[in-house]
Amino acid sequence: MTVRTSLIVASMLLAVAPTAVGQGKGKQGAMPANKKLFCWEEKGQRVCSDALPADAVNAAREEISATSGLRTGGVDRALSGEERAQAAADAQQRLIDAAAAETRRRTDAAMLLSYRNEDDLRRVFNERIAIVDNNVRTARYNTVSLREGLVSLLQTAGNQELAGRPVAAELATNIQRRHAELLRTRRLQHSFETQRAELDVEIKDIMQRYRGMKGITPEQADDIANPPPEAPAPQQG
């Protein structure tokens, strides 16, 4: 049975629970050692029960021992689709940051000894470039897709209004959700594009430091980057 009560009353009930169990032990046997209560927030009130209803499965809750009255654990609330997407984006960002830190460590630790030429050094950045470029392409594709879907939903809503019918509640909800997803994806796209531009600046800076350590002048660097065309082979008569 669900108990709706204040924190104080709930604590009192839990405090007397062991006594009540002890009094009834001779008649009904001891309460199972793993018996527990669940407590969660519902409409601004704290709710405690020995059974978790279906509508509270995704809610944040505490688990309390029915025999000792002590907290034994807890479960955070289930994430929404948007929160899961944001968590995935955060994980991807951590991957990029880790790759950047590793690249800096490798290039700064033994730049002179590890790389024979600039081509060898550039290969270090290939993985980071591939990750960021893939993020940019994916975000751009998702932005276009979400925008086209939102335009379609808005056209449907406009046609309903023009026909003198109210916009369906489900359609209005879908429009709001799609618009929120579009704004979030645009922010991600801007973030990834900024990272890509910053990566180009970082590569350029490291190349300049590498050339300085190797004693390569700007003129020599230009010659390396733009080698002269090969002379045509002489024609034999």
Burial class (CB in 10 A: 0-12, 13-18, 19+), 38: buried
Residue pointed to by tokens 């050094």:
121
Average the pLDDT over 1-9 and give the result.
43
For the segment 17-36, what is each residue's pLDDT rounded down to a tens digit? 444 444 444 444 455 556 77
Residue 169: CA atoms inside 13 Å, Cβ hemisphere, count?
A: 0
Per-domain residue ranges of the chain: 3-75, 81-216
Average the pLDDT over 197-204 and give the result.
91
Check if the beta carbon of residue 129 is closer than 8 Å to that of residue 199: yes
Across the chain, the runs of DSSP E, i.e. the strands, are: 3-4, 36-42, 45-49, 61-65, 71-75
For the segment 46-93, what is each residue's pLDDT rounded down to a tens digit? 878 777 777 777 778 788 777 766 777 777 766 667 777 887 888 888
Using pLDDT thresholds of 50, 70 and 90, give the confidence band for residue 206.
confident
10 compared with 163, residue with greater pLDDT: 163
pTM above 0.75, yes or no: no
